[in-house]
Amino acid sequence: MSAADLARLQFAATTGIHWLFVILTMGLVPLVAIMHTRAAYTRDPAKRAVRERMTRFWGQLYVINYAVGIVTGLVMEFQFGLSWSGLSKFAGNVFGAPLALETLIAFFAESTFLGMWIFGWGRMRRGVHVTLIWLVALTAYASGYWILIANGFMQHPVGYEVRDGAAYLTDFGALLTNSSALVALGHIALAALTTGGVFVAGVSAWHFLKGTQETELFRGSLRLGLWVSMLASFFVVVVGEMQRPVIERTQPMKDAVLENSGSDVAELQARLVKEYGPGDYVPWQDTMRISMDVMTIIGNTVSTITIIALVLLWKDRLIRWRWASWLLVATVPFPFIASAGGWVVREVGRQPWLVYGELTVEDALSRVSTASLAVSCTVFIAVFVALAVTNWTLISRFARRGPDATQLGATEPLPDDAPEGPGGGGADEQLPVPAL
């Protein structure tokens, strides 16, 4: 493999795996925030206890996934400089700004507030604690916005001019309202909510199949998960379709490949050769079309399943009819597959461009030796795959164990529960009693 192939493989593999964590993180956090808000403002103590257990159970699954998401995200921030320094040379003046703002506005806040939320159980006032998880949710989506502004510039560069071989920002407003970014953000947000909703509904259905005692907790979760995923999966298809006119306008080649129109593809190839010099301007057609079909079929199927499941909630049929519950459990992985398909369509369809019409992927490659790239590519893929396996093993383990095994928010025994130890005690007894 050439250096360019290795660098592409490294970027694609790490981004693809990172994306699978991100979509669940973005899908779960609003649900956890809703659960936490309901728990915090419930008066009836018994109901409140159930809702709080519910928040901690789903919150823990979210936090496990976030842990792996954040560490892989850390690598992403470095990738452009590591392997694609041509990008910062050409587009650094434009492309760097949204990335910088993403870290300062969103990533920083998300991580700090999540740390406080995890360790704030029993220590923070209710209102403050609930606000924290909403801030985490808000900043997660803000992060998505800025990343898509950067990605939108790669798909459809706007608000810049080229002087002496480098891009300069001329219209920040145009950059921030890039249609290629905004419609994609809507699509991705809805896809994430579909993923999160189906995950919550599927895990809840599994617990009913296993005869859980926590019927109230899982009935509430099932209802919330189904409503969210039903609405989101309906609109994700609609917004997905809304991207087609944007693609047609901004990326004719991607559009021609998706339309499966051989004559258009050939004609565009000839035109691009004339415009940009000899080269292959056609992305991998079969890969793109298969990915598109997979995404569309899954999207429509999930949408149908969630609507039927929601109807079956009436008189508890969904829980009594075991096949229906099993169907929901089996649906859990599919939104992930669909979102990977969508990512392939968007990014493979951009090839051979890094910045559409301005900079090719080949030209942006850093001057890094093939040997270094081979080593780093192997190491990163091995580590990321290991993390993905660990993540899903842990999530399914804690999802199966149920709310009893939740560690999140569990405070240690009070001093009168445990004998005073020689080391651990001391000044901590003087701390103010938490206000929860």
Partner 1 sequence: MSLETLWLALLGLLLAGYFVLGGYDYGAQMLHPFLGHREGHIEGRRPGPQAERADRNAALDAMAPFFLGNEVWLVAFTGVLFGAFPHLEGSLLSGLYPLIVAILVGLVLGNAAIQLRGRAQGVRARRYWDALIVFGGALPAVCWGLVLGLLLHGVPRRPDGSFHIGLGGVLTPFVMACGVTTLLLFAAHGAAFVALRSGPDVALKARQLGALLLRAAAAAAGLALLLTLFGAGASMTNRAASAVVVALFAAALAGAWWSLARGHRVRAFVATCCATALPVLLVGAGHHPYVLISSAGTGLTVDHAVTDHATLKILSAFGVLVVPMILAYQAWSWWAFRGPTGRRHPSYF
- Residue 127 binding partner 1, by CB under 8 A: no
* Spatial CA neighbour of 141 closest among 298, 16, 28: 28
- Residue 367 binding partner 1, by CB under 8 A: yes
Please identify which residue in 372, 374, 381, 396 interacts with partner 1, judged by CB under 8 A: 372
| Region near partner 1 per CB under 8 A, out of 207-215, 243-251, 317-325, 383-391 | 383-391
- Residue 409 binding partner 1, by CB under 8 A: yes
Helix H or strand E segment including 33: helix 3-40
- Residue 80 binding partner 1, by CB under 8 A: yes
Asked if 303 and 237 touch (Cβ cutoff 8 Å), the reply is: yes
54 versus 344: smaller Cβ distance to partner 1 = 54
* Spatial CA neighbour of 17 closest among 266, 343, 419, 425: 343
- Residue 398 binding partner 1, by CB under 8 A: yes
- Beta carbons within 10 angstroms of residue 305's beta carbon: 22
Asked if 265 and 239 touch (Cβ cutoff 8 Å), the reply is: no
Instruction: For tokens 């892989």, name the residue.
Output: 72
Please identify which residue in 27, 30, 73, 240 interacts with partner 1, judged by CB under 8 A: 73
Please identify which residue in 162, 266, 273, 405 interacts with partner 1, judged by CB under 8 A: 405
| Region near partner 1 per CB under 8 A, out of 21-29, 224-232, 301-309, 401-409 | 401-409
74 versus 270: smaller Cβ distance to partner 1 = 74
Collapsing DSSP to helix, strand or coil, 161 comes out as strand
Please identify which residue in 4, 329, 368, 381 interacts with partner 1, judged by CB under 8 A: 368
Q: How far is the CB of 84 from partner 1 (least distance, A)?
A: 8
| Region near partner 1 per CB under 8 A, out of 198-206, 273-281, 290-298, 376-384 | 376-384
Tokens of 195: 């993923």
Asked if 121 and 408 touch (Cβ cutoff 8 Å), the reply is: yes
**Residues 29, 30, 33, 38, CA torsion sign:** negative
- Residue 313 binding partner 1, by CB under 8 A: no
| Region near partner 1 per CB under 8 A, out of 46-54, 70-78, 319-327, 344-352 | 70-78
Tokens of 368: 């890094």
- Residue 82 binding partner 1, by CB under 8 A: yes
Whole-angstrom Cα distance, residue 68 to residue 390? 9
**Rule CB under 8 A: which of 90-109 touch partner 1?**
92-105, 107-109
* Spatial CA neighbour of 308 closest among 294, 325, 295: 325
